[in-house]
């Protein structure tokens, strides 16, 4: 096992979130993910992610720590509380958060995700 260097080249996966039509609320967001690390049991992953503008239902059953490198987003809880984040901000979305991701301008982030639903 070695330290993961985020400058090393990795495989990039691209996805049009509209391919998950039950999640998209607004726009046509496109995602590009560079997965840098996945633990052997699949419960921990880290990488870099970019999204074009749009709004979708947040993924659940995970803890996610993010550092925004570029862009502007809002996280909107199901209770209507909005939190805005800009490049340079970092935040933790705890397991149990229900609500929406709203990417206002193309955003890139580093992330660490701990899945709690891996079987």
Query: Is the per-residue pLDDT at 118 higher than 70?
Result: no
Place of tokens 């509380």: 81
What are the sequence ranges of the domains in the chain?
Answer: 12-115
Query: Is the per-residue pLDDT at 1 higher than 90?
Result: no
Q: What's the distance, Cα to Cα, between the start and end of the chain in Å?
A: 23
Among 9, 8, 108, which residue's Cα sits nearest to residue 49? Answer: 108
* Residue 46 and residue 36 in contact, taking contact as beta carbons nearer than 8 Å: yes
* pTM passes above 0.85: yes
Distances (CA, A) of 17 to 1, 8, 57, 89: 33, 26, 11, 24
Looking at domain 12-115, its CATH superfamily turns out to be Jelly Rolls (2.60.120.10)
pLDDT tens-digit series, residues 68-95? 999 999 999 999 999 999 999 999 999 9
The fraction of the chain above a pLDDT of 70, given in percent, is 98
């Amino acid at each position: 096992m070695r330290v993961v260097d985020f400058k090393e080249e990795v495989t990039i996966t691209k996805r049009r979130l509209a391919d998950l039509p039950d999640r998209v609320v607004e726009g046509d967001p496109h995602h590009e993910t560079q997965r840098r690390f996945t633990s052997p049991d699949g419960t921990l992953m880290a990488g870099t992610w970019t999204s074009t503008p749009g709004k979708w239902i947040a993924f659940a059953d995970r803890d996610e720590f993010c550092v925004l490198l570029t862009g502007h987003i809002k996280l909107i809880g199901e209770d209507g509380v909005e939190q805005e984040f800009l490049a340079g901000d970092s935040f933790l979305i705890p397991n149990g958060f229900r609500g929406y991701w709203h990417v206002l301008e193309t955003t890139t982030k580093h992330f660490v995700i701990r899945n709690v639903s891996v079987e």
